[in-house]
């Protein structure tokens, strides 16, 4: 499968960086851009963006929450709602799995998704440790 062109012009890569040509780097394809958007959504805390205070999945701060089945359900619901609201037209969510390892204060979030217009599923795995 070749690299697809971006549908709406030039986008900035996430995290922001300067490319080898001295210009801001851009994602190589729509699928890469959707992955970047998904990362931004998960890592942004609600209220962090001044003009979009509802934007964000708030995954970073979950490391310090007490692990429980209730929290796992709340996290899955929060991520599902955020993905539906902010990226619902850009991807289809196939699976969200949240795991807490209490002794090591580690959080793992796995999102299996399919970028819009793509037959291929992708997996984004996010791990964060409180230590």
In a domain, 39, yes or no: yes
Helix (H, G, I), strand (E, B), or coil: what is residue 106? strand
pLDDT at 117: 84
Average pLDDT of the residues of the chain? 79
Q: Which residue's structure tokens are 């979950």?
A: 62
In a domain, 47, yes or no: yes
pLDDT at 36: 85
Q: Which domain holds residue 103?
A: 30-129
Q: Tell me how many domains the chain contains.
A: 1
By the 10 Å C-beta count (0-12 exposed, 13-18 middle, 19+ buried), 20 is classed as exposed
Distance separating alpha carbons of residues 103 and 27, to the nearest angstrom: 37
Q: Is the pTM of this model over 0.75?
A: no
């Amino acid at each position: 499968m070749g690299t697809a062109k971006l549908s709406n012009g030039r986008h900035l890569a996430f995290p922001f960086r300067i490319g080898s040509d001295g210009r801001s780097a851009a994602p190589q394809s729509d699928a890469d851009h959707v992955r970047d958007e998904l990362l931004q959504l998960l890592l942004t805390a609600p209220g962090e963006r001044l003009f979009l205070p509802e934007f964000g999945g708030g995954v970073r701060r979950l490391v310090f929450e007490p692990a429980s089945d209730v929290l796992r359900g709340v996290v899955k619901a929060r991520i599902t709602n955020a993905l539906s609201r902010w990226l619902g037209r850009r991807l289809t969510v196939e699976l969200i799995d949240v795991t807490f390892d209490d002794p090591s204060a580690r959080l793992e979030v796995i999102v299996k998704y399919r970028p819009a217009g793509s037959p291929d599923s992708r997996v984004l795995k996010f791990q964060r440790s409180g230590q």
